[in-house]
Amino acid sequence: MSGNIAIELGPARFRNPVFLASGPAGYGTEYEELIDLERIGGVVTKTITLEPRAGNPGRRLWETQGGLLNSVGLENVGAERFFKDKLPALEDKGIGVIVSLAAEGWDDYEGLLGAADDSSAAAVEINLSCPNVERGGMAVGTDPELVARYVELARKRLPDRAIIAKLTPNVTDIVSLARSAEKAGADAVTAINTVLGMDLEGEDSRPVFRRVSAGLSGPAILPVALDAVWRITRSVDLPVFGVGGISSVDDAIKFFAAGAFAIQIGTAVFYDHTLPERIVEAFEQRGLPARN
């Protein structure tokens, strides 16, 4: 069976539901010699903040059994340069784009949304895993009220764009976050972001990272992500982008069977850059898997 597998999300249109996840693929163009980016649905850019960020000092990546710990710290060129140079470069090549945005404080967030509003971005993914300075450094996305507040402002400032809320799994109930995003006007949610973890090294068993904790991605978190997608899709009416641990065509099929609207591939592109296109080809030949 074959057919059209294009998807729509608000005003945004994409060739298919297979995306590169925010982070590993950088700004997208870094992979254009390895992946036919016009063949997949699109790229979720690395997270953009209002001002440029140098990221965290010291070690940033650490391989584990079945996964990858990262403590990059949202290194990026900032909104002005991204919307002036990076986004047009992607769009000029016909690449589908979802822009990932994050801010630690309310003023920065308003400025960031203003920059997005002045741009051509058709879809944005709000990364809600940043620490919020008004709440003592607690991640925005762990509080349903803050999730609602951030999504509401995005909906108000970007009324004609697709708004996607990226949810953290580091909570007791991720469904409550999805419900808050839905009530606040999100067009979709992404589940999940990285899972908190750490590792130790050396004879004195010292923490690998200066910040001690880091974000775990890769095959190890696949069951956590599948569980989140399954529960969210049975609790809210929003489309869900499933992400977390996809390393094969079969993994991608599982997400759609669990109820996902689309998928994002992250860590796997470091060691298998052919995977996104192979998933697209499989879906074109077989059609999208039916939800269980």
Element of type H or E holding 233? helix 222-233
Indicate whether 274 belongs to any domain.
Answer: yes
Whether 291 is covered by a domain: the verdict is no
Closest to 131 measured CA to CA, from 28, 56, 239, 77:
56
Cα–Cα distance for residue pair 246/268, rounded to 1 Å: 7
User: Tokens in use for 198?
Assistant: 């750490």
- Residue 165 in any domain: the answer is yes
For residue 122, what is the DSSP state?
S
By the 10 Å C-beta count (0-12 exposed, 13-18 middle, 19+ buried), 145 is classed as exposed
For residue 213, the enclosing domain spans 7-286
Residue 292 lies in a domain: no
Query: Would 108 be classed as within a structural domain?
Result: yes
CB count within 10 Å of CB 221 equals 26
Point out the residues that are catalytic: 130
User: Is there a cis peptide before residue 192, judged by omega within 30 degrees of 0?
Assistant: yes
Q: Which residues pair with 196 in a beta bridge?
A: 215
- Phi first, then psi, for residue 108 (nearest 5°) are -60, -40
The pLDDT, as a whole number, for residue 135 is 52
68, 61 Cβ separation under 8 angstroms: yes
Q: Which of 223, 162, 225 is nearest to 193 (CA)?
A: 225
Maximum Cα–Cα distance across the chain: 57
Rounded Cα gap, residues 26 and 251, in angstroms: 23
* Confidence (pLDDT) at 131: 54
CATH number where 254 lies: 3.20.20.70
pLDDT of residue 138: 53
Instruction: Report the Cα–Cα distance between both ends of the chain, in Å, rounded.
Output: 19
Do the beta carbons of residue 210 and residue 176 sit within 8 Å? no
Number of independent structural domains in the chain: 1
Q: Which residues contact 225 (CB under 8 A, 6 or more apart)?
A: 169, 191, 192, 242, 243, 244, 245, 255
Measured in whole angstroms, the distance separating CA 237 from the mean position of its chain's CA atoms is 19
The answer to whether the CB of 129 falls within 8 A of the CB of 139 is yes
Question: What is the predicted pLDDT for the residue at 1?
Answer: 42
Q: What pLDDT does 137 receive?
A: 45
Q: Return the pLDDT at 133.
A: 43
In a domain, 226, yes or no: yes
* Rounded Cα gap, residues 134 and 128, in angstroms: 14
- Token look-up 């879906």 returns 283
Digits of tens for pLDDT over the chain (292 positions)?
456 899 999 999 999 999 999 999 899 899 999 999 999 999 999 999 999 999 999 999 999 999 999 999 999 999 999 999 999 999 999 999 999 999 978 999 999 999 999 999 999 999 997 654 455 445 788 999 999 999 999 999 999 999 999 999 999 999 999 999 999 999 999 999 999 999 999 999 999 999 999 999 999 999 999 999 999 999 999 999 999 999 999 999 999 999 999 999 999 999 999 999 999 999 999 998 888 8
100 inside domain: yes
pLDDT of residue 291: 86
